[in-house]
Amino acid sequence: MKSRYIARIAFIALLTISLFSNDVYSFMTLNLILAYIPLELCYLLNLFKPKKVFEWPLFIIFSLIFIFMVPNTFYMVTDLIHLNQFRFNFYAGLTIIEWIYFTYLLAGVALATYCLTLIYIEINHFTQYRWLNNTIIVLMMFLNGLGVYMGRFLRFHSVYLINEPLSVLQDVAQAINPSTLAFIVLMMVLQLLIIVFMKGVRLAK
């Protein structure tokens, strides 16, 4: 089975579950959708590759939409912080509901990680120039880290970049400090590890 179909089946399954079990993690439905959309946009990128001059504007617009949406995929990894809603008191014995939600949340994070991996694989073959593909991936890693910071700490959504771009840029510029940069670097390291693990698995075949 192709990797994209695995992602689609997993997405539909988790989305269906989220529609009937959102009493604790009510954010999961929206986050799953936002995390998955960039993968489908990535698969469509090749269709928008410009072959003529007049095709460039549409390619640029579509690429910007894709770039604005991609951080939502990695953002879901940070949803692990919501596990703090449960006590996980091992000494009090097994509370199965805690582990049901643990599995559910971790499955969503695993899907987001898988989607991000597929996106990077696609970008790695986007052009015939390896250095350009690698440069694009590094820039995406940085923007993903910045996007996660904006979403978690500044509480911005992707749509704000369209509705209030100047306000967003101003607030982000004011928020940049050594701690912010350290956070972005940490998010880049996590993404780099995903890429390294991905290559490790592929080389082992």
Q: What is the pLDDT of residues 40-53, one digit of tens each?
A: 999 999 888 888 88
The fraction of the chain above a pLDDT of 70, given in percent, is: 94
pLDDT at 198: 80
Mean pLDDT of 6-22: 89
Closest CA to 115 of 200, 35, 24, 27: 35
Environment class of residue 82 by beta-carbon count within 10 Å: exposed (0-12), middle (13-18) or buried (19+)?
Answer: middle
pLDDT at 202: 62
pLDDT at 162: 67
Mean pLDDT of 97-111: 91
| 166-182 tens-digit pLDDT | 777 888 888 889 999 99
pLDDT at 72: 93
pLDDT at 159: 67
Domain boundaries, the chain: 3-204
